[in-house]
Amino acid sequence: MKRDKIADKERLEALGSYTIMDSEEESLYNDITALAAAICNTPISLISLVDDNRQFFKSHHGLDLTSTTLDHSFCKYLILDDLDVLIVENPIQDKRFSEYASVKGDLKIGFYAGVSLTNDDGYKLGSLCVMDQKTKQLNELQINGLKTLAKQVIQLFELRKSKKLSRHQKNKLEQKGILLDNIVSATGIGIWERDIKNNLMKLNYECLKILGYSAEAKKTLQYSDWENFIHPEDLKLVKAKLKRCFEHKTEIYDIKYRIINLSGQTNWVHDNGKVLSWDDDQPLLMYGTIQNITQKVNDDFELVKLKNNQEAIINNTKDLLWSVDTEYRLIMANNAYHELIRDNIGYQFKVGDVVFSENFDIDINNKWKNYYARALKGEQFSIKAKFHNPAKLRTTYGLTSFNPLYDNNGKLLGLTCYSKDITSEVLSQQVLISAKEEMQKIMDASLDIICTIDEEGYFLSINKACQKIWGYEPKDLIGKQYIDFVHEEDKELTLNEAFAILEGEKVTGFENRYIHKNNTIVPMLWSANWDDKERVVYCIARDITEKKKADVQLSQSERRFKSLVQDGSDLIAILNTEANFLYVSPTSTRILQTTPEEYLGTNAFDYVHPEDYDEVLKQFYNILEVPQTKIRPFRFRIKNNQYIWMETTVTNKLDEPSINGIVVNSRDVSNRVNYLKAIEKQNAKLKEIAWTQSHELRAPVARLMGLVNLIRDENQDLDFEEKNRMLQYIIDSADEIDVVIKKIVDSTVQRMNIEETE
């Protein structure tokens, strides 16, 4: 049964998928075995892969062998016994290994420790192991180190597998491209393949023919040669389209442009393609098609020319001309009709659109539907219709004729309409309307209060808006003094303003409060002008209740903003997509020793330390792909060319209209970074003095380990990843110092020929 685990078909297939057996030595794997040997203080370390016959050593630090049979394998027991870790402290006393040649022979293996190489699917492929000629024990930290390195080995295997798969997919794509080229060769469509990295264009015969080449011509061109065929006036547009595709702004490259072939003939082509292979967000391989559309362009040009001639005839009039089909969809219309529709609803009807809009009054829609329905029944008639043009603030009148539209076979296609402007005739019939009635209509339609007041302060006239705003009908106010309705606290100010008006001063923007009929307060905004001839004050007053509420909300919002952003502990900034400062919070004065105004308009990367520039730039532009990203600590220049360490969170708010930028939240982490550097410096010093002060260093090491445990229990201002990274770093450093000290002590004891006792 145990043998079955070694020879398990699925396990062997998983091992074979990595194509690692019998592969050449690689420095990455050798570095891992060397590090494993150093961590465990052993002379031998192996990366062992087990198939059904043998074990192959991908890396063999301290051992010249590259493989052994399974009869002499320690590592196979990790698979047979389904173990994650196997430690044999004295193989000579273990019946499984006591007869091994490596134990009894010249190698005299006295210790073995192995960690299973288990892939993501749970298959044990082999082990990362260490060996020594003498018996020993590993501490928990050393075992965990082996486990971590084993995971790194598996990750290298997966990376190797992924690269192999990518190459296979590329070859498959190329084969499909050849097949597609053969299929479409008879269609007149050219197919091209662009190797972006090497600037090469691979073309099929149809593509070469479009360029003017013969069938015997080479099928690969430099991309610069391809660009030479593009009409100079179109080249810039082609490059811009490709750039958008390469920057992921568009998935498909699609463009129509002119080329000049080898014979000097200019042709129109339709070119489109798509990037099918990327590497680290950089385009590698692009496929596309190109088709000669010169004849179609020429035909379209002739059709456009004919259409333009027809349109010139029907558009050379201010009268309206249009026609609709039996489903009320627009067939054609002249400019006068389009202009009237656009001015009414904000856009033009396109050919095929239903000529009714929700923006029209429902009664108007129904009225015109009835007209159209009559004409579609075969009736010919004319009506007088009113057309309102809101853009020109004008109403016109037209005499509109409706006529059925038939084809040559007498089939009803729709109807045609012709509307002649008769505005002047209609207006001449309206001149008898009283100017007073017109004025009253305007006043009654106003949402604002319009009134006249005599020099004694009595209302002479007032429109109906007073009822909605103050609760009084006009008859309740006419003959009353306006001051009786003013808030008590505003009366003195209002009377002073009234006196200035009577002196001839024109007042605008004066605010006071009126008392509503229900005793509520109504804030008002007044404009007033004294007519000395008529001896009256003409007034317009607006209810600004909503404005006052908005002002209060804005004030509260600004206070919250100041509390959260301007007086906070972090630096808040808003950048555009080029990283130029659009806004900087006042905290910059305290954190960066620079006022916000000094940063506005400058580029944030001008202040980034040159050594950190590339990494910060890369992390920053990740924000165009994800809503938020965190930039690891980097150096930022402040006053006097000094640098501080900044930690930054970047949030994409480009789609937020009130911000329209990239929000950057930064804090000064110089103390934290300097603390880490101080630890590094201290470790270096500890290594220096380890040679001469080994026994004295054991006490500091113990204190350092105690500090680590203390830090783990404290609520530090670090995120989880940083805290653990810092702690692990200190532990590794302390352990390394302890190992060095032990080696020094052992060496000293041997030189002094004294037996060490623990």
pLDDT at residue 661 is higher than 60: yes
258 confidence band (pLDDT: 50, 70, 90): very high
CB 23 within 8 Å of CB 66 = no
Contacts of 462 (CB under 8 A, 6+ apart): 449, 450, 451, 452, 474, 477, 478
Question: What are 267-299's pLDDT values in tens digits?
Answer: 999 999 999 889 888 999 999 999 999 988 888
Any idea which of 137-146, 329-338, 634-643, 692-701 has the lowest mean pLDDT?
692-701
**pLDDT bracket for residue 184 (50, 70, 90):** low
Angstrom distance (rounded) from CA 401 to CA 379: 11
Tens-place pLDDT, residues 440-465: 777 777 889 999 999 999 999 999 99
Lowest mean pLDDT among 415-419, 631-635, 708-712: 708-712
pLDDT of residue 444: 72
Q: Quick check: 531 and 539 in contact, CB under 8 A?
A: no
The four Cα atoms 717, 721, 722, 728 give a dihedral, to 10 degrees, of 120
Say which CATH class 2-164 falls into: alpha beta
Tell me if 566 sits within 8 A of 588, measured CB to CB: no
- Mean pLDDT of all residues in 488-507: 92
Structure-derived torsion over alpha carbons of residues 146, 151, 154, 155, reported in degrees to the nearest 10: -130
State phi, psi for 385 to the nearest 5 degrees.
-130, 150
CATH dotted code for 568-668: 3.30.450.20
Tokens representing residue 225 in the block: 């040669």
Task: Give the domain 317-428 fold.
Answer: Beta-Lactamase (3.30.450)
**435-548 adopts what CATH topology?**
Beta-Lactamase (3.30.450)
Res 757: pLDDT: 39
Q: Quote the percentage of the chain above a pLDDT of 70.
A: 84
pLDDT band for position 681 (cuts 50, 70, 90): confident
For residue 489, pLDDT beyond 90 = yes
Greater pLDDT, 755 or 64 = 64
Q: What is the pLDDT of residue 378?
A: 92
Query: If you search the block for the tokens 């020879």, which residue do you land on?
Result: 7
Q: Please indicate whether the domains covering 2-164 and 317-428 agree at the CATH topology level.
A: yes
**C-alpha 737 chain-centroid distance:** 47
Of 295-304, 390-399, 640-649, least confident by mean pLDDT is 390-399
Q: Give the class (CATH, top level) of 188-297.
A: alpha beta
pLDDT > 80? residue 719: no
Domain boundaries in the chain? 2-164, 188-297, 317-428, 435-548, 568-668, 678-751
388 phi/psi in degrees, rounded to 5:
-100, 130
Band (1; pLDDT cuts 50, 70, 90):
very low
- The two tokens of residue 327 are 């489903």
SS3 labels along 374-418:
HHHCCCCEEEEEEEEECCCCEEEEEEEEEEEEECCCCCEEEEEEE
Please work out, in degrees rounded to the nearest 5, the angle formed at the alpha carbon of residue 190 by the alpha carbons of 188 and 196: 175
pLDDT value of position 446: 82
**Candidate from 177-186, 468-477, 553-562 with smallest mean pLDDT:** 177-186
**Residue 437 · residue 407 · CB < 8 Å:** no
pLDDT in tens, 66-106: 999 999 899 999 999 999 999 999 999 999 999 999 999 88
**At a CB cut-off of 8 Å and minimum separation 6, what does 192 contact?**
201, 202, 203, 204, 207, 273, 287, 288, 289, 290
Residue 441 exposure: Cα atoms within 13 Å on the Cβ side: 6
Distances (CA, A) of 255 to 338, 405, 409, 471: 30, 40, 42, 65
The average confidence (pLDDT) of the chain is 85
Residue 756, pLDDT score: 40
Three-class DSSP category at 429 = coil
pLDDT band at 303 (very low <50, low <70, confident <90, very high): confident
With contact defined as beta carbons under 8 Å apart, do 542 and 448 qualify? Answer: yes
Query: 373: closest CA among 405, 331, 415?
Result: 415
What whole-number distance in Å separates Cα of residue 639 and Cα of residue 572? 18
* Rounded mean pLDDT, 129-152: 93
| Out of 156-170, 611-625, 685-699, least confident range | 685-699
Rounded (to 5) percent helix, strand, coil in the chain: 45, 30, 30
DSSP codes joined into one string, 558-626: HHHHIIIIITSSSEEEEE-TT-BEEEE-TTHHHHTSS-HHHHTTSBGGGGB-TTTHHHHHHHHGGGGTS
